[in-house]
Amino acid sequence: MKLRHTLILSTIMLLLAACNFTLAEDVTPPPNYVPPTPAATLPPLVPPNAPDVENGALIYTEKCAPCHGDSGLGDGPQGKQLPVSVAALGLPATAQKASPATWYLVVTQGNLERFMPPFASLNDQERWDVVSYALTLHVTPQQLELGKSLVETNCTDCAKVLAGDPEMMAALSNNDLIKVIKQGMGSLPDFGKDFTVEESTAAAAYLRSLTFASAAAPIAVAATETPVSAEAVTPSAETTPVDGTQAAVTPEAGTPQAEIQVTVPATPAAGFGTISGSIDNQTGDALPTDILVTLRSLEHGADMNAGPQEIAAIETFAKADGSFVFENVEMPENRIFIADTVVNGQTYESEFAVVEAGMTELVIPTIQLFATSEDFSVLTVDSLQLHFDFANETEVQIFGVYTISNPTDKSIEVKMAAQEAIPFVPFPEGSTPLGYEATQDTAAFIQTADGFAMPPSTTPYGLIAFASYPKSDTIVVSQTVPLAISGVSILLPEGLKAEGDQLTDEGVQTMQSASFHIYTTGALKADETLKFTITGKPQDTAVNPDLTQNKTLLIGAGAFGIVLIVAGAWLFMRDRKRVEEVDEEDEEDNEFEDPDSLMDAIIALDDLHRAGKLSDEAYQKRREELKGALKRKS
């Protein structure tokens, strides 16, 4: 993988902060974890409850509209800054061919090639809600009225059969429904074989609406399983006793699906067991009462490279001594469990525990609480590596990789405001700050309301500071180090050289099949300034190395952990040449099956523009893309 691609994938990690990720939502399995055989372990592709399009609209406004646009036309303010076109979800040509299950998987797993991250901050039901709302963006009230009239007149039983099978409806696109309407399926007659295109499209839209929680006309559905209450409440000391009774919750922490009391059987059912743990209070203060502990279960999905995904969570209150117990928990082999709790605004989590074959009792590693301090001067910087990339035609990208230790017995709190740099991880003078990211093998940062915290840890913390300089023949780098550093390594593409009184030339070295000119420094004192000048031109063999295999140089693209965005991460996307044009053309070509569907998309786009629903800029851009795709398919 070339470095420019690495930059793109690193950008995805930066974008995840905008998706409200927390430390507990994405985790890396422990060293001794043996992953299961690659197989689809995602839940059935069917909504737990009927999708709530009103809730989906709220989620869409927050999570999707910035890129896809308020009307789903791909003209969101952030989407315009991407080096690829954003899917126009609101166009009939796009939405008609999409099934809810397909879009649900995209929301769940992301589409990194199109710069879309996975939305693990949404629980299962919320993903179905927002997908269902997105599928309504191209539908008008007039269509729904026409569709209702046609369905009720021609085949009421068809509506009951289709809407009564949520799994089938999740798998069918509106184009598939149109085929069912016109050709029949199984016991369903071809009740719309004489419908016009407008009529069959309206009927399909109405049938889809019947699957929503706010359906216009309720359909009697035969119950196939015990219904689950959709009313969400948060347990309190009054509803959840301190003796360990627990409430099942969705993967969104702190939102139980129903106010229930779990009756624990004397003997757990097969495959179920007891999970216990404790809180180690090292703050010096009394442990607060009514501490709610969340137990999260994770499994790998079909994509083993995506890491484990949270599939369920339950909550209980810790006892006065800090212990907690979860009874009657499903415990299949290789399932991963982690526990966390929020105390004084900080989220503390345990290490991982993995279920072994036949296990019915599992002890979660202890959750440790620490006293806090804002004195970051007690931190030590073990090393700093500065990597310079000259692949961009106009900018020089800088990656400052910091290894930091907290040798104290306190958790160091770092308060940050928007656009503010981390006080002990500064950017070089005169550079354009782009943001920060945690490295893959870092100790776990703790997210706080106004920043983050670094508890005592035997594992170092890893941070990458991203910045850029305008490209020129001579680049002067000057950076003051707030904390003492044992040494700095500077990696330049072969052909470039650095000059400075503090530098030692280590010569050209080959790393991961790429050649670097490496310079080092001795120890730097706190507040000392590192200064050097870069001149020369990079050789072709020295640029675009594959650094993803060297975790000490650059974070792996699949890293998990807190993402710390404090500057314009979108600036990373300005170099549109980082995505090969041929890849973009292939993506565009695959979006439509044939020239006719492309012509339909162009006509629909023209209609939207004439109706004033699409800006001139977005209209012209999208039309040129569609015309180009049409030429390639003709």
Write the pLDDT tens digit of every residue in 577-588: 333 344 444 554
Question: What would the pLDDT profile of 151-178 be if each residue is shown by its tens digit?
Answer: 999 988 888 888 888 888 988 999 889 9
State the architecture of 378-574 in CATH terms: Sandwich (2.60)
pLDDT band at 628 (very low <50, low <70, confident <90, very high): confident
pLDDT at residue 120 greater than cutoff 90: no
**Would you kindly state where each structural domain of the chain is located, as residue ranges?**
247-373, 378-574, 578-633
At residue 177, the pLDDT reads 92
| Per-residue pLDDT, 347 | 81
Rg (CA), the chain: 27
For residue 634, what pLDDT band results from cuts at 50, 70 and 90? Answer: low
Q: What is the mean pLDDT of the chain?
A: 74
Interval 226-251: pLDDT, tens: 333 323 333 333 333 333 334 444 34
Q: Which residue has the higher pLDDT, 594 or 531?
A: 531
pLDDT confidence of residue 540: 59
Least confident of 57-66, 113-122, 135-144: 113-122
**pLDDT for position 243:** 38
Distances (CA, A) of 525 to 43, 486, 492, 529: 54, 8, 24, 9
Pick the more confident residue, 448 or 368: 368
Residues 518-546: pLDDT tens digits? Answer: 999 999 999 999 999 999 988 754 334 33
pLDDT tens by residue, 498-518: 999 999 999 988 765 678 899
Q: Give the model confidence (pLDDT) of 254-292 as tens digits.
A: 333 333 333 333 455 567 899 999 999 888 888 887 789
**125: DSSP letter:** H
> How many CB atoms are closer than 10 A to CB 574?
15
pLDDT on residue 260 = 30
Residue 301 banded pLDDT, cuts 50, 70, 90: low
Whole-number percent of the chain with pLDDT over 70: 69
Structure-token match 């500077």, residue found? 490
3-state secondary structure of 617: helix
Domain 378-574 in the same topology as domain 247-373: yes
Q: Which two tokens stand for residue 462?
A: 């890893």
pLDDT of residue 229: 30
What's the topology of domain 247-373?
Immunoglobulin-like (2.60.40)
DSSP H or E run through 247: strand 247-249
Q: 0.75 cut: is pTM over it? A: no
Give the pLDDT confidence of 318-359 residue by residue, as tens digits: 998 999 999 988 898 888 899 998 887 778 888 888 999 889
> Is residue 174 classed exposed, middle or buried when 0-12, 13-18 and 19+ CB atoms within 10 A define those classes?
buried
Among 358, 544, 384, 584, which Cα is nearest to 464's? Answer: 384
Q: What is the pLDDT of residue 518?
A: 92
- What is the average pLDDT across 4-33? 38
Reply yes or no on whether the pLDDT at 217 is more than 70: no
pLDDT at residue 52 is higher than 90: yes
pLDDT at res. 626: 77
Read off the DSSP letter of residue 409: S
User: What tokens does 287 get?
Assistant: 């442990």
Name the DSSP class of 232: -
Q: pLDDT value at position 576?
A: 34
Give residue 45's pLDDT. 82
- Specify the residue for token string 């890129």: 67
